[in-house]
Structure 1
Amino acid sequence: MSSLKKLLAAALCAETIIALCASGPAQAQEAWPARPIQMIVPSSPGSGTDALARVMAQRLSESLKQAVVVENRPGGSGVIGTNAVLKAAPDGYTILYTTASNMVVAPAVIKSVSPEARKSLVPIAQTAVGGVLLLVSPDLPVHDLPGLIALVKANPDKYSYGSWGTGSSAHLTMEWLKKQTGMKTEHVAYRTSSQLLTELSSGVLKIGWTDPSVAVPFLRSGKVRGIAIVGNVRSPQLADVKTMGEQGYKFNTVGWFGMFAPPGTSPAIVKRLADEVNKVQASPEIAALMKKLNFEPPPVKSSAQLGAIVQNDLQVWTKIANDAGIKIDE
Structure 2
Amino acid sequence: MTNNMTLSRRRMLASAVLLAAAPWQAVRADQPIRLVAPFSAGGGTDVIGRLLAQGLGKELGTTVIVDNLAGATGTIGAAQVARAAPDGRTLLLGPTATMAIAPALFHSLRYDTAKDFIALAPIAHGGNVVAANPGYPANTVPEMVALARRTGEPVVYASWGNGSAGHLAMESIRALTGIKTEHVPYKGAGPLVQDLIGGQVQVGMVDLAGALPQIRAGKIKALAVTGRKRSSALPQVPTLAEGGIAFDTESWYGLFGPARMPDAEAQKIAQAAEKVLRQPELIARIKDFGLDPEPMSRADFDKEWRADMVTWARLVQQSGAKVD
The TM-score with structure 1 as length reference comes to 0.74
Distance across 1 between alignment mates of 2:81 and 2:136:
46
Equivalent position SS for 1:289: helix
Residue 242 of structure 1: CA displacement? 1.6
Distance across 2 between alignment mates of 1:137 and 1:261:
38
**Residue 234 of structure 1: aligned partner:** 230
| 8 Å Cα contact 2:97-2:163 kept in structure 1 | no
**Residue 297 of structure 2: aligned partner:** 302
The answer as to 2:120 corresponding to 1:121 is: no
Q: 1:166 to 1:270 in 2, by over 3 A?
A: closer
Which of 167, 171, 176 lines up with 2:167 in the alignment?
A: 171
Equivalent position SS for 2:34: strand
| Structure index of larger Rg | 2
Distance across 2 between alignment mates of 1:40 and 1:223:
31
**Residue 28 of structure 1: aligned partner:** none
Q: What is the RMSD computed on CA atoms of the aligned residues?
A: 3.3
> Which amino acid counterpart does residue 231 of structure 1 have in structure 2?
G
Q: 1:239 to 1:276 in 2, by over 3 A?
A: same
Equivalent position SS for 2:195: helix
Q: 1:178 to 1:38 in 2, by over 3 A?
A: same
**Residue 16 of structure 2: aligned partner:** none
Distance across 2 between alignment mates of 1:41 and 1:225:
30
- Choose 259-268 or 287-296, whichever is displaced more: 287-296
Which of 65, 70, 74 lines up with 1:70 in the alignment?
A: 65
Residue 122 of structure 1: CA displacement? 0.8
Q: Deviations over 1:216-254 (max 9, x none)?
A: 354345454322111233222211012223444343532
> Which amino acid counterpart does residue 197 of structure 1 have in structure 2?
L
Q: 1:70 to 1:317 in 2, by over 3 A?
A: same
Residue 186 of structure 1: CA displacement? 2.7
**Residue 48 of structure 2: aligned partner:** 52
Q: 1:156 to 1:319 in 2, by over 3 A?
A: farther
Output aligned runs, 1:180-259, within 5 Å: 180-189=176-185, 192-200=191-199, 205-251=201-247, 253-259=249-255
**Residue 26 of structure 1: aligned partner:** none
Residue 190 of structure 1: CA displacement? 5.1
Q: 1:142 to 1:88 in 2, by over 3 A?
A: closer
Distance across 2 between alignment mates of 1:159 and 1:97:
31
**Residue 92 of structure 1: aligned partner:** 88
The answer as to 2:270 corresponding to 1:274 is: yes
| 8 Å Cα contact 1:253-1:316 kept in structure 2 | no
Distance across 2 between alignment mates of 1:164 and 1:90:
29
Q: Deviations over 1:153-205 (max 9, x none)?
A: 344325433334443321221111211222223333456213431255xxx75
Q: 1:150 to 1:305 in 2, by over 3 A?
A: farther
| 8 Å Cα contact 1:124-1:259 kept in structure 2 | yes
Distance across 1 between alignment mates of 2:166 and 2:249:
12
Output aligned runs, 1:97-176, within 5 Å: 97-113=93-109, 116-138=112-134, 142-157=138-153, 159-176=155-172
- Choose 97-106 or 144-153, whichever is displaced more: 144-153
Distance across 2 between alignment mates of 1:141 and 1:55:
36
Distance across 1 between alignment mates of 2:146 and 2:58:
53
**Residue 24 of structure 1: aligned partner:** none
**Residue 257 of structure 2: aligned partner:** 261
Instruction: State the identity as a percent.
Output: 33
> Which amino acid counterpart does residue 281 of structure 1 have in structure 2?
L
Q: 1:138 to 1:61 in 2, by over 3 A?
A: closer
- In structure 2, stretches of 5+ residues that fail to align are 1-24
> Which amino acid counterpart does residue 261 of structure 1 have in structure 2?
G
Q: 1:41 to 1:158 in 2, by over 3 A?
A: closer
- In structure 1, stretches of 5+ residues that fail to align are 1-30
**Residue 318 of structure 1: aligned partner:** 313
Distance across 2 between alignment mates of 1:139 and 1:42:
32
Residue 90 of structure 1: CA displacement? 3.2
Residue 34 of structure 1: CA displacement? 6.7
Q: Deviations over 1:28-57 (max 9, x none)?
A: xxx9x9735623314355554334333323
Equivalent position SS for 1:101: helix
| 8 Å Cα contact 1:37-1:94 kept in structure 2 | no
| 8 Å Cα contact 1:252-1:316 kept in structure 2 | no
> Which amino acid counterpart does residue 196 of structure 2 have in structure 1?
L
The TM-score with structure 2 as length reference comes to 0.75
Distance across 1 between alignment mates of 2:301 and 2:178:
33
Equivalent position SS for 1:264: coil
Q: Deviations over 1:86-130 (max 9, x none)?
A: 233434343322322221233332332267334431101111123
| 8 Å Cα contact 1:119-1:311 kept in structure 2 | no
| 8 Å Cα contact 1:107-1:114 kept in structure 2 | no
Distance across 2 between alignment mates of 1:188 and 1:156:
19
> Which amino acid counterpart does residue 193 of structure 2 have in structure 1?
S
